[in-house]
Structure 1
Amino acid sequence: MPIQNSFPTTEHLVSPQATSLNQTTLWTALITPFNDDESIDFDTLTQLVAEQNAAGNGILLLGSTGEALAMTPEEQQAVVRHVCALALSVPLMVGVGGYQLQQQRQWLAFLADYPIDALLLPVPLYAKPGAASQQKWFESLLDDSRWPCMIYNVPSRTGAALDAQTLGAIAKHPNAWAVKEASGNVETFTRYIQAAPTLQFFCGDDALFVDFAAAGACGLVSVAGNAWPEATALYVQQTLSQAAPSFKQLWQDAGNSLFCAANPIAVKALMQHQGRLRHAGLRPPLYMDELPELTPVLDANHQVNQWMNTCLAQ
């Protein structure tokens, strides 16, 4: 598949945003826009990055929402080169996926030449490693990393949950910085906090952020931030500053609507409807046919926009 990227390689730069990680409460797990021929739409990618930058949202590249594992290594590298060549005032995090350790080490070696600020390290997918295997895997990547790392628990995608005892052990590593918890269970989230109280904890589910914040989450890694960059930022700010936010149900419904089909199908369909994507293209094994209708997502879009307008008018 063709790679249409004219940006030069950026070598050995140190991001000026590295110190802002602890102040970033919202990370948008950015989609990857594709053209009709499934090549990467770099023009639209530039626009989407600019929107997140303007909203002050941290950017997570090449996560599951970005369909990273459906892309070739060359395409993943092209995305990093492209975004790192843009003028960003927000921190940049890059996903590390798969389950082949040597391949992940090669990815870290590539990233070493670019001004990124953090890594996202999920539990290895498919192999279902137990506690001892998880610890050795994470320690290997943490040792090889030159950045702060966010450990990612998402058993619905990886097939195995992050072991709490393993998290407690790797939390002592100097490159362990944070946890993204996306099991959908507040009790699990609380157990991880108890196991590794020195780490920062982020909710990985837009719909549950109010409950996770009450349990100790300091921020959100968001799919909704793609569709509503400014509104999601306000949602996070108000959730963290209010004891019992009145908008909990609204954002639960909005977050759930984006998962009425496998992510990122619904959010891409919505963004095309918003006029922010020229094409709602996906990479196999995902197809837009999985989304039977757009009504729930359009209803959520209306409610979020109405809520945002009301907030701005106050």
Structure 2
Amino acid sequence: MHSLTPTTQATPTNLSGLWIPLVTPFHDGAVDHNALHTLTARMKLAGVTGFCACGSTGEAAALSHEEEDAVLATILNAASGLPVIMGASDCHMGRMLERVEQLNAQPINALLVPPPSYIRPSQAGLLQWFTRIADASRHPIVIYDIPYRTGATLELQTLRTLAAHPNIIAIKDCGGDAAKTQALINDGQLQVLAGEDVQIFSSMSLGGSGAIAASAHGHTEQFVALVKLLAAGRVNEARALWYPLLPHIHASFEEPNPAPIKAYLARQGWMRAEMRAPMIEASNALVERMLQIRMPELREAA
């Protein structure tokens, strides 16, 4: 039995589609809110489903909570009605629940929550972690399964147990386990969003709900068209877009994310390539290769 602390339980949310986990632009060490607003507005015009604020691509680990709140405010303003998922992470239960309580007041659509980093709890500990957060949140929870960042592996049975919680509705799947991905999609209890960009085609072809794709900051219209075609079951047409996108996807993660995509956007004039230490800017050679990648023209039918 789950007893939600908030007086109202979050209503089910359809997260199908293409979500952009927005980078956080910087200028001389501070968040560049003008660049962030412009970038968000541009992504909206390209037809994305919505945005993720303050995830790993947004360098949330390098932001204070005050900066995170300011970033969220800018994105909400620029999104002007498109849904926004907010990242929330910590390795301390008390601090995490305090953060969830703060975010309960925000007009967001869901929280993106990973396991606690560095701790490596047992499966029972992970069940407790996500259950207490889901109980405390007014917003639906998207589990962020990313063991190579957190050090914690969520087993299939653990995810199936969590899926029974009425406030846990989806998973950002970076788990690297194809069998687990297929089982979750087949179960139909969680909306499965591909979090590894190279898995978008296979995940959605199997029935996944969509993707949270950092590389889709570039060639965004092609990614939008790809996800729409896959959602409609038009796999052959989607394949014609997918293979030209692969070199861009691979290049976007050839050096630590989000340095390549930030540098790519900087060369488009949208923002600076600036990172916060210990992250460093992407190499010029990589950015030059990214700029040389060409996409086929989109057809009206897409």
Q: Please name the residue that 2:264 is paired with.
A: 270
Relative to the length of structure 1, the TM-score reads 0.85
Q: Please name the residue that 1:30 is paired with.
A: 22
Q: Please name the residue that 1:233 is paired with.
A: 224
- Change in CA separation of 1:105 and 1:23 when aligned onto 2, cut-off 3 Å: closer
Relative to the length of structure 2, the TM-score reads 0.88
Residue 102 (structure 1) shift: 1.6
Q: Please name the residue that 1:113 is paired with.
A: 105
**Is contact 1:177–1:200 with CA below 8 Å preserved after alignment?**
yes
- Change in CA separation of 1:208 and 1:160 when aligned onto 2, cut-off 3 Å: same
Q: Please name the residue that 2:241 is paired with.
A: 247
- Determine if the alignment matches structure 1 residue 140 to structure 2 residue 132: yes
| Distance in 1 separating the partners of 2:264 and 2:256 | 14
Which of 12, 23, 33 is equivalent to 1:42?
33
| Distance in 2 separating the partners of 1:155 and 1:170 | 17
Aligned ranges 1:57-206 → 2 under 5 Å: 57=48, 58-86=50-78, 88-194=80-186, 196-206=187-197
- Change in CA separation of 1:151 and 1:291 when aligned onto 2, cut-off 3 Å: farther
- Change in CA separation of 1:20 and 1:129 when aligned onto 2, cut-off 3 Å: closer
- After superposition, the CA RMSD in angstroms is 2.2
| Distance in 2 separating the partners of 1:200 and 1:213 | 11
Q: Please state whether the residue corresponding to 1:60 is helix, strand or coil.
A: strand
Fraction of identical pairs, as percent: 30
Runs of 5+ in structure 1 lacking a partner? Answer: 1-17
Q: Please name the residue that 1:221 is paired with.
A: 212
Q: Please name the residue that 2:5 is paired with.
A: none
Residue 247 (structure 1) shift: 3.0
Superposed CA deviations along residues 192-233 of structure 1, whole A, max 9, x for unmatched, are 335x53111111122221111122211011102222332221
**Is contact 1:119–1:150 with CA below 8 Å preserved after alignment?**
yes
**Is contact 1:20–1:91 with CA below 8 Å preserved after alignment?**
no
Residue 95 (structure 1) shift: 0.4
**Is contact 2:20–2:216 with CA below 8 Å preserved after alignment?**
yes
| Distance in 2 separating the partners of 1:70 and 1:312 | 41
Residue 240 (structure 1) shift: 2.4
AA of the residue aligned to 1:263: N
Runs of 5+ in structure 2 lacking a partner? Answer: 1-9
- Change in CA separation of 1:239 and 1:74 when aligned onto 2, cut-off 3 Å: same
Figure out how many residues of one structure are paired with residues of the other and give that number.
289
Q: Please state whether the residue corresponding to 1:128 is helix, strand or coil.
A: coil
- Determine if the alignment matches structure 1 residue 311 to structure 2 residue 299: yes
Residue 72 (structure 1) shift: 1.3
